[in-house]
Amino acid sequence: MRVLKKQAISRRSFLKGSTVTALGLTVMGPTIFGKNNAWSATFKNISADDGATLVQMARDIYPHDHLADKYYAAVISGYDKAAGKDKSLKGMIGKELKKINSASMKKYKNNYRMINREVERVDILKANTKSPLFAKVRGDLVVGLYNNKEVWPKFGYEGESASKGGYLNRGYNDIDWLDKV
């Protein structure tokens, strides 16, 4: 679970930031911004709220505190493109997110994405593991997240080794972390 630090903000920087944000929203349309504003995504075929909920859902299914939200959002952006071509996908996303939000409202009096405690969001997801949306997000993230070359160094993976002569002579047996007997 991520602990967020509160930062003091001056009146001047608040006004400057809100003016830029208002101008950006006017120009860009329905856009969501990550919690740390390090990424943003514009959705054309699904609502910005549904997109943000899917990003939170993705983060809760595969939680990696050291990964930025932008890697999860990149996978979810694919759903927006696919929903433009496949109306059944768009309908399934809307229907399943309504069910998740309804269960969340009933149990925690808030929409899924707005629940602050990860444990409570995971509780909602566990009750919905049989839903087609959960299965789709979980399956697509395996490829979309872990096959992204930008995240490999964050997990300590150097990539394939065949083009570099294999693992055997490149540190495969470097086990300095194991105590010598």
Token couple for 7: 């930062």
Distance of alpha carbon 42 from alpha carbon 31, whole angstroms: 4
Nearest residue to 94 via CA among 43, 142, 144: 43
Per-residue pLDDT of the chain (181 residues; tens, 9 = 90+): 555 455 566 666 656 665 555 444 444 444 454 554 445 677 889 999 999 999 999 999 999 999 999 999 999 999 999 999 999 999 999 999 999 999 999 999 999 999 999 999 999 999 999 999 999 999 999 999 999 999 999 988 888 888 877 777 776 666 666 676 5
Domains in the chain: boundaries: 29-155
